[in-house]
């Protein structure tokens, strides 16, 4: 009986540590400079250059365009995904995740949920 408890406890700890590694993967994977394209967004709102970095244990985004500047926009980690709300003429929820080693995302806008394409610079 004791061996069963030890094995179950070990499996539980392993699954918890694997969940932590998975949560850390998107934070590690997203850091750096990116070209972001939102193909279905209106012209002028469809291409951005951004930089994701870690500050005080939190992922933040910096971006500058002719229309606006975003500095240290904080992301929250939810279910292994990075989530934030950004105001660019309207409030948009940005969600970023990892899928088979590729960074993917979506922008939830008044036009609906639009795919976000990431290209590492």
- Local confidence band at 115 (pLDDT 50, 70, 90 cut-offs): very high
Q: What is the per-residue pLDDT across 57-85, written as a single tens digit (0 to 9) for each?
A: 999 999 987 778 899 999 999 999 999 99
Check residue 45 and give its pLDDT: 83
What is the extent of the structural domain holding 111? Answer: 2-120
Q: Which long-range contacts (CB under 8 A, 24 or more apart) does 87-91 make?
A: 88/45, 89/45
Q: Which of 59, 49, 103 is nearest to 83 (CA)?
A: 59
pTM: 0.77
What would you report as the CA-atom Rg of the chain, rounded to the nearest whole angstrom?
A: 18
> In CATH, what number is assigned to the domain containing residue 90?
2.40.128
Looking at the 3D structure of the chain, how many domains does it have? 1
What is the per-residue pLDDT across 19-66, written as a single tens digit (0 to 9) for each?
A: 444 445 899 999 999 999 999 998 888 999 999 999 999 999 999 877
């Amino acid at each position: 009986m004791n061996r069963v408890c030890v094995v179950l406890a070990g499996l539980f700890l392993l699954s918890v540590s694997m969940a932590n590694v998975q949560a850390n993967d998107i934070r590690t994977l997203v850091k750096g400079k990116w070209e972001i394209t939102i193909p279905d967004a209106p012209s002028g709102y469809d291409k951005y250059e951004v930089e994701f970095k870690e500050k005080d244990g939190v992922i933040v985004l910096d971006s500058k365009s002719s229309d606006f500047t975003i500095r240290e926009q904080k992301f929250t980690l939810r279910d292994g995904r990075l989530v934030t709300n950004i105001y660019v003429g309207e409030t948009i929820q940005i969600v970023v995740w990892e899928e088979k080693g590729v960074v993917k995302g979506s922008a939830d806008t008044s036009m609906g949920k639009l795919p976000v394409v990431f290209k590492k610079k």
